[in-house]
Amino acid sequence: MRVQGIAALVTGGASGLGLASARRLRGQGAHVTICDLPDSRGADAAAEIGARFVAADVTSDAEMQAAVAAASEGGTLRAVVHCAGGGGRAGVVRAVERDGQPGSLAAFERVVQLNLVGSFNVLRVAAAAMARAEPIGRERGVVVLTASIAGYEGQVGQIPYASAKAGVIGMTLVAARDLASRLIRVCTVAPGIFDTPLLARLPEEVRASLGAAVPNPARLGDPDEFALLVQQIVENPYLNGETIRLDGALPMAPR
């Protein structure tokens, strides 16, 4: 599907991988709507790249319905890039050397709600809108989800995040098959360690160490490299049901 002229919605588009994706799609001629939380810098980011901003929580049915409707005002919605998400640490047991109490169920539920339930919510609402569109050739639209290499090999303390991202990976092929009759493709990108605002808070020596752990190229990923893959997924009509690791062949250490 050609990016030029299509309407696209990018969740988590106020910063990081989402903003890079929105910027690239906008640069290729898409009518882009950025979706992020009300207190994000989404409005400023949208103004910077010539996009539209709509405030929404990806776990809310009503708010995502409104976001998809807003994105559709720029034309027929053909591409959704779902980057909204977040981490959170919780073990099975809480620091055994202290009190040995069970890990926090609330913390687990919060991370899974945001990353896994939020992904399904965005997917289902976007797919319903795309299913009503006239096909372009043999396509109606494409949804790109975001997982993580933690979904394959999560680290100590990452049970909620790794579980949620593993769920997104497991969702991808099934969703692609479910939506095949509607001519809607679904793919997922599983990034490694990228140079996002979250990592910018770390000391430079820590960032350098993280980058050096990547086999090739031995550096942090550039958010535009993620965005480039998003563009390629949108443009390549035979990419479907795939989860693509984008990590420089990084093996995640247990800690």
**Which of the 8 DSSP states describes residue 84?**
-
Output phi, psi for 133, to 5 deg: -85, 155
Question: Is the pLDDT at 101 greater than 60, yes or no?
Answer: yes
Please report which confidence band the pLDDT of residue 92 belongs to, taking 50, 70 and 90 as the band edges.
low
- Each domain of the chain, given as residue ranges in start order, spans 7-246
Please report which confidence band the pLDDT of residue 145 belongs to, taking 50, 70 and 90 as the band edges.
very high
Q: What is the pLDDT of residues 213-246, one digit of tens each?
A: 999 999 999 999 999 999 999 999 999 999 999 9
What pLDDT, on the 0 to 100 scale, is given for residue 95? 43
Map residue 117 onto helix, strand or coil. Answer: helix
The beta-strand segments (E) located in the chain are 7-11, 31-36, 52-55, 77-82, 141-146, 184-191, 243-246
Map residue 60 onto helix, strand or coil. Answer: coil
Q: How far is CA 134 from CA 113, 114, 129, 173, in A?
A: 33, 32, 11, 24
pTM: predicted TM-score of the whole model, two decimal places = 0.95
What pLDDT, on the 0 to 100 scale, is given for residue 15? 96
Q: What's the mean pLDDT when you consider all of the chain? A: 93
Q: Which amino acid, residue 79?
A: A
Query: CA 82 to CA 5: how far, in whole Å?
Result: 20
The 10 Å Cβ neighbour count of residue 241 is 16
Lowest mean pLDDT across 67-71, 98-102, 105-109: 98-102
Query: CA 166 to CA 153: how far, in whole Å?
Result: 9
List of residues 6+ apart from 223 with CB closer than 8 A: 16, 17, 19, 20, 194, 195, 196
Which position has the token pair 């769920």? Answer: 167
Which position has the token pair 């009518």? Answer: 31
Please report which confidence band the pLDDT of residue 201 belongs to, taking 50, 70 and 90 as the band edges.
confident
Query: CA 152 to CA 161: how far, in whole Å?
Result: 11
Which residues are known catalytic residues? 161
C-beta separation of 49 from 22 below 8 A: yes
Q: Of 25-34, 152-161, 194-203, where does the model show the most confidence? A: 25-34
Average pLDDT over residues 169-175: 98
User: H or E segment at 153?
Assistant: helix 150-153
Output phi, psi for 77, to 5 deg: -70, 120
Share of residues in the chain with pLDDT > 90 (%):
83
Regarding the domain with residue range 7-246, which homologous superfamily does it belong to in the CATH classification? NAD(P)-binding Rossmann-like Domain (3.40.50.720)
